[in-house]
Every structure is written in structure tokens, then in C-alpha cells.
């Protein structure tokens, strides 16, 4: 299993993570091409090498005119640019869904923003649908989040881990005014995660970075790694310590909690619910998938005193556990979510496109040559049926026949 370990030497920001992934070997052209499908233009990307505290690092150089966004740390009171509209979760999810990112990249990006919305909602005493993003809703922040999700795939990372989060002192200037360090939304995101105090008057971990890492990473001790690549991402400020984020990428040693060789690790999250309207499950399932769940299902059960109820279950990767659990707590009436770790064995899968009488259709190909199978994407089948006024069963029959033909 390939593991990426994030060390917040001088802290972390969204652009610092992006830069560290680049320095560790993520293909710049492929990364930019993916980000251009999220927001095609209106921004520039000019990474360059700088030195922070004697360490050579990459400064991301992702700039959106009129925004200063996740600028790699703030010293004391400092007001972020407010030229953008304050986007809601729905606004950001629409941008992500329209993009050309892969399904997993879209799921992970959406899960980070669901976590951000939940944190903002708790801080401001509202719900996730009414929470408004300020700094983290800017285009550069959206691109920073998407960039980490893309880089994980480009570098074939199976698991992301991170060090304790460093916390500075002083006050932080935000859209609502001066706030304690760390700002309230960041503090919410860091609940349950190890932190360490640092004698520096600055925001060392930005809200964007906190959301990325607490959603996509798992915390724990540094894993035993055979390190293959190291990347340093630079912040925009200079501190008494090197203001860099370091990412070490390698293969987990046998016996480490991240080690492969015994199958793919997943978590199963479940809750027994007996007081929720059946009509509300449709949206709850949608939000769980957006938070990163790989599969979600409902099972009828009977609880004490003969009460009919439902077990809501979700399957997720370990890195997505927190986001899926928080979505389950926020979107249902349950007061708790239980989690267990399991293993699964998977056929190797690739995304492909098949030619059909209706035009190109996305599909997943699984299994080795000679016994491979191809399954068309359901969303494409529904789209074709709606556009052409055809029965879904008829569209599926013709497309599946084309899929079988593609195997010969």
C-alpha cells in the first residue's frame, strides 16, 4: 500500500498541500488539466521554487485575480478579499459536479466541502444548506481542494496520514471580523484530532487545509515507510521555523497499520433508526454519497417492543470515515453511528468509454482479459432514455449488447 504522510512543519494551507504534492512528483500538466475542468479560466498557475528557513520548497503560485484566499498563513488581523459571492454548499457542489474530475475525485472534493459546511453550520447556529462559505468559497480554495483529490490519484496514494496539527496564537482576521486562533470553523474541524501548541503569532493551519486533511487523511503515528518521494510545499510567510509542509510518499512496511497484502481496507458505518420519515431517506442517501460513501443501503429490522425500524449502512474508505459519519449524524435522526473495519477483495477496475448506437457511453471494465466484464454507467443510460424518450430497459439492452461486443 502506498502511503503519503503529511508533516506540518510550519503548518498547512490548501496551496501548500498542492505544492508539496507537485514537489513529490505529481504531474503538473495533468493536475492543471484536471483543474481546468473545474474552473476553465480566470486563474493562473505558476509554481516556482523558493526557500523557507533554509529548505527549498515549491510555492504553488495558483492565483485568482481579486482573491487572496488560502494564502499560506496569516499574521495577526488580516482581512481576506471579499470580491466573490459567498457561495453555499449547493453552489460548490454544482461546480464540482459539472467538472471533468473522475467520480472518486468529485466524491472526495464534495466530501471536503460537506465537512466545511457542517463546521460552518455549527459555528453560526444554522444548517448545512444555509451555511455560507467566505474565504473557503473562493475559486482558489475550491481549486486547492480539488487539487489534493487529483494529486492523490496521480500519485497512486492508497492512504493519506498526517502529523498533529500545529496551533499558533494571536487573532485572525476573517470576513466576520477578528477571531481567536484557530478560527472557529478550523477548531470545529480539528475536534478529535491531535494538536500541538507553537509559539508563533499566525494561523498555522488554514480552514481549507484542516478540511482536506481531516476528511481525506487518518491520524496516527508516523507509519513505517520505505520512502520513495518527498515533497515540500511553501507558505507565503516566513517564520522562525521553516514554513513548509512536507509530504513523504512510500510503501508501508509489513506489520504497519497501513500495510497491504491482506486485501483492501474499508469501514462500515451503521445506525438503527426508528423515528425518521421514509421520505427523508432519499436525500440522506444522496448526502452520504456526496460525503464519500462507496455504497449505501437500507435494511428493515425489528427493535425492542416490536418497533419496526431501519438499519442505515454505508461503506467507505478509511480516509472518508469522518465525513460519512458526520453526514449520517446530520442527515438522519440517529444520535450515534457505529463503525467497524473490514477487508474486501476487488477485481482490478478501469474507466472506459464504449461506442453504442446512441453515441459514447461511460463504463467500468473489471477483471482480467479473457474473463473481463463491462458495466455501463447508470447515469448515462438514464440520460439517453430521457433525451430520446425511450424506455430505460430498452436503452440498457442495446448498450449492454454494445458493451459485450467491445470485449471481443
What pTM, to 2 d.p., does this model score?
A: 0.65
Of the residues 252, 287, 322, the one at which a domain ends: 252
Give the count of beta carbons closer than 10 Å to the beta carbon of residue 226.
9
Residue written as grid cell 507558505: 235
Is the distance from CB of 155 to CB of 2 less than 8 angstroms? yes
353 and 336 in a common domain? no
Residue 184 falls inside a structural domain? yes
Spatial CB neighbours of 59, under 8 Å, sequence gap ≥ 6: 15, 19, 47, 48, 49, 50, 72, 233, 234, 236
Q: How many domains does the chain have?
A: 3
Give the 3-state secondary structure of residue 116. Answer: helix
321 and 223 in a common domain? no
402 and 333 in a common domain? no
Residue 229 falls inside a structural domain? yes
Residue 259 falls inside a structural domain? no
- Sign of the Cα torsion 324, 287, 112, 169 reads negative
From residue 370, alpha-carbon distances to 205, 373, 407, 408 in Å are 50, 9, 9, 9
Per-residue pLDDT tens listing for the chain (408 residues): 789 999 999 999 999 999 999 999 999 999 999 999 999 999 999 999 999 999 999 999 999 987 755 445 543 333 334 444 578 888 999 999 999 999 889 989 988 998 888 888 888 788 777 777 866 668 999 999 999 999 999 999 988 999 999 999 988 776 666 778 898 889 999 988 999 999 999 999 999 999 999 999 887 678 888 999 999 999 999 999 999 999 999 998 654 544 333 346 789 999 999 999 999 999 999 999 988 899 999 999 998 888 899 999 999 988 788 889 999 999 999 999 998 888 777 776 777 888 999 999 998 888 776 567 888 999 899 999 999 999 999 999 999 999 888 877
190 and 271 in a common domain? no
Q: Which domain holds residue 17?
A: 2-252
Spatial CB neighbours of 407, under 8 Å, sequence gap ≥ 6: 372, 373, 374
Of the residues 329, 344, 359, the one at which a domain ends: 344
DSSP letter, residue 261: S
381 and 331 in a common domain? no
Amino acid at each position: 500500500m502506498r502511503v503519503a504522510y503529511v508533516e506540518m512543519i510550519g503548518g498547512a494551507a490548501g496551496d501548500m498541500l498542492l505544492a508539496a504534492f507537485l514537489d513529490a512528483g505529481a504531474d503538473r500538466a495533468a493536475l492543471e488539466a484536471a483543474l481546468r475542468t473545474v474552473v476553465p479560466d480566470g486563474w493562473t498557475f505558476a509554481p516556482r521554487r523558493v526557500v523557507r528557513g533554509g529548505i527549498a520548497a515549491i510555492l504553488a503560485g495558483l492565483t485568482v485575480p481579486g482573491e487572496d484566499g488560502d494564502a499560506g498563513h496569516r499574521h495577526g488581523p488580516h482581512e481576506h478579499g471579499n470580491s466573490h459571492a459567498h457561495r453555499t454548499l449547493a453552489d460548490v457542489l454544482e461546480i464540482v459536479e459539472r467538472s471533468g474530475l473522475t467520480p472518486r475525485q468529485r466524491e472526495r472534493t464534495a466530501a471536503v466541502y460537506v465537512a466545511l459546511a457542517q463546521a460552518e453550520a455549527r459555528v453560526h447556529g444554522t444548517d448545512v444548506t444555509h451555511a455560507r462559505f467566505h474565504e473557503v468559497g473562493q475559486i482558489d480554495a475550491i481549486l486547492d481542494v480539488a487539487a489534493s483529490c487529483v494529486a492523490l490519484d496521480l500519485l497512486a496514494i492508497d492512504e493519506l496520514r498526517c502529523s498533529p496539527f500545529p496551533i499558533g496564537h494571536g487573532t485572525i482576521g476573517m470576513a466576520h471580523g477578528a477571531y481567536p486562533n484557530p478560527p472557529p470553523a478550523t477548531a470545529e474541524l480539528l475536534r478529535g484530532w491531535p494538536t500541538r501548541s507553537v509559539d508563533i503569532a499566525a494561523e498555522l493551519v488554514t480552514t481549507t487545509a484542516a478540511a482536506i486533511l481531516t476528511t481525506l487523511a487518518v491520524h496516527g503515528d508516523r507509519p513505517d515507510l520505505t520512502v520513495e518521494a518527498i515533497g515540500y510545499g511553501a507558505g507565503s510567510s516566513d517564520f522562525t521555523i521553516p514554513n513548509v509542509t512536507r509530504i513523504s510518499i512510500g510503501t508501508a512496511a509489513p506489520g504497519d497499520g497501513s500495510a497491504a497484502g491482506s486485501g483492501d481496507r474499508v469501514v462500515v458505518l451503521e445506525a438503527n433508526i426508528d423515528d425518521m420519515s421514509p421520505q427523508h431517506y432519499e436525500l440522506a442517501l444522496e448526502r452520504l454519497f456526496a460525503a464519500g460513501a462507496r455504497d449505501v443501503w437500507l435494511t428493515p429490522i425489528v427493535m425492542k417492543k416490536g418497533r419496526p425500524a431501519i438499519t442505515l449502512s454505508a461503506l467507505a474508505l478509511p480516509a472518508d470515515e469522518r465525513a460519512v459519519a458526520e453526514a449520517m449524524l446530520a442527515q438522519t435522526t440517529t444520535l450515534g453511528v457505529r463503525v467497524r473495519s473490514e477487508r474486501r477483495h476487488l477485481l482490478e477496475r478501469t474507466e472506459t468509454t464504449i461506442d453504442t448506437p446512441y453515441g459514447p457511453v461511460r463504463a467500468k471494465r473489471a477483471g482480467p482479459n479473457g474473463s473481463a466484464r463491462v458495466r455501463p454507467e447508470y447515469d448515462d443510460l438514464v440520460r439517453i432514455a430521457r433525451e430520446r424518450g425511450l424506455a430505460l430497459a430498452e436503452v440498457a439492452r442495446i448498450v449492454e449488447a454494445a458493451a459485450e461486443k467491445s470485449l471481443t
